[in-house]
Amino acid sequence: MHELSIAMSIVDLAQQEAEQRGVRINAVHLKLGALSGIVKESLIASYEMASFDTPLKQSRLVIEEVPVVIFCLVCKVECELSTIQMFCCSQCGAPSSEIVRGRELEVTALEVQS
Amino acid sequence: MMQEPRLIEVRKNVLKQNDHIARALREQFRNAGVFVVSLVSSPGSGKTAFLEKILTILREHYRVAALVGDLATENDALRLARSHAPVRQITTGTLCHLEAAMVQRSLDEWDLNQLDFLFIENVGNLVCPSSYDLGENLRLVLLSVTEGEDKPLKYPTIFNSADVAIFTKTDLAEAVEFDASAALANIQAVRPGMDVFSISAKTGAGMPQFLEFLAARLAEMREAVAF
């Protein structure tokens, strides 16, 4: 529901970078955590709308989905969750709220042409 | 001739502007010694009734105020005004959540040093508010017994972003056959270790325990600031 305002922020951010560097953007690379609260498909559709009528009109949004990784306090290891409905260590089953990754909403790179 | 495309690294948090304002707010709240509690839930889960009750009781011993977000009406602010605590409305128009900048604007001319507790009632929505830090000390997620025990599994992100869960309308629990232990298990699955309180704003049941918890958190925060 709030993907459009997020998409507009992404376009603004990328456009600022492009202007500073004097480049044209082909694609924006984004890391999207499973706990970001953002739906990938909806964000891609919103990006098309948000970039329309801007220099980023023809650009693509390339999303890398980041699963949630917790730290198990019992096994002392990081553990990737297969679902965000169960915050448990896959080895020993101990619950953990120590989130290492999975909240990302970050522009990581720009694919550009001079 | 066109050059080959190349990749340049940027690493920029998309919500950096909101997070930046939220950090400034948190610092401002800390310096003023005010403990800030935000409330998120689905529409109709009883945020306003809960808040009205809390403001009314807390007002006897503490200086309290509330900001309340709503898409279109001022009904909630009018209801909360019955508690005689200072209340301000943030009308978001069509926006489905509050952002830190809205909170910041709404605080204009309010002397935070004159407050012990500030409550921020978010727009009724279990999806969008999860992404936005408002600078609060404590985020409550409310779940009314009429909504079903599996809400935490349906909306894990918002439950994970919150610090405390509250079962509301517990006076109706029997009528709707609310399975508290199933709901608790679901909360622990998506947010292990989360504190949970059961409250009825109508009868007042469970309210003292929660108020005690809030008072302890305020004292804790002030002690930390003093050091």
The pLDDT score that the predictor gives to residue B183 is 98
Assign A1 a pLDDT band (cuts: 50, 70, 90).
low
B127 with A108: Cβ contact below 8 A = no
With an 8 Å Cβ cutoff, is A20 touching chain B? no
Contacts of B190 in chain A (CB under 8 A): 84-87
Q: How confident is the model at residue B75 (pLDDT cuts 50, 70, 90)?
A: confident
Residue B135 — φ and ψ, nearest 5°?
Answer: 85, 10
Q: Tell me the β-bridge partners of B67.
A: B88, B120
CA distance A106 to chain B (A): 4
Q: How far is A75 from chain B (nearest CA, A)?
A: 16
pTM for this structure?
0.92
Q: Across the interface, do B96 and A36 touch by the CB < 8 Å criterion?
A: no
Partners of residue A69 on adjacent β-strands = A80, A101
B157:A84 CB<8 A: yes
User: Using a CB-CB distance cutoff of 8 angstroms, which residues of chain A are in contact with residue B4?
Assistant: 113
Tens digits of per-residue pLDDT, A37-74?
999 999 999 999 999 999 999 999 999 999 999 999 99
- pLDDT > 70 in chain B, percent: 99
Q: How far apart are CA B104 and CA B86, in angstroms?
A: 16
Residues of B with a Cβ under 8 Å from any A Cβ are: 2-15, 17, 95-97, 125, 127-128, 130-131, 153, 156-158, 160-161, 188-194
Cβ contact A106–B131 (<8 Å) = no
Nearest residue of B to residue A95, measured between CA atoms: B192
Q: Say if the Cβ atoms of B12 and A88 lie within 8 Å.
A: no
Sort residue B151 into left (φ over 0), alpha (ψ -120 to 50) or beta.
Answer: alpha
Least trusted range by pLDDT, from B35-39, B70-74, B195-199: B70-74
Q: What are phi and psi of A81, to 5 degrees?
A: -85, 140
- The two three-digit tokens of residue B119, written as one number: 């409550």
A10 at the B interface (CB within 8 A)? yes
Alpha carbon of B10 to those of A34, A107, A110, B4, B20: distances in Å?
21, 7, 7, 19, 18
Residues 6 or more apart whose CB falls under 8 angstroms from that of B103 comprise B25, B67, B90, B120, B134, B135
pLDDT in tens, B156-194: 999 999 999 999 999 999 999 999 999 999 999 999 999
Alpha-carbon gap: A85 to the closest alpha carbon of chain B (Å): 5
Instruction: Write the DSSP symbol of residue A88.
Output: B
For residues A95 and B3, give the distance between their C-alpha atoms in angstroms, rounded to a whole number. Answer: 51
User: Which residues does B83 contact at the CB level (< 8 Å), separation at least 6?
Assistant: B52, B55, B56, B59
Is the dihedral angle over the CA atoms B200, B201, B204, B206 positive or is it negative? positive
Task: Find the CB nearest B128 among A1, A23, A95.
Answer: A1
pLDDT in tens, A74-89: 999 999 999 999 999 9
CA of B37 vs chain A CAs: smallest distance (Å): 21
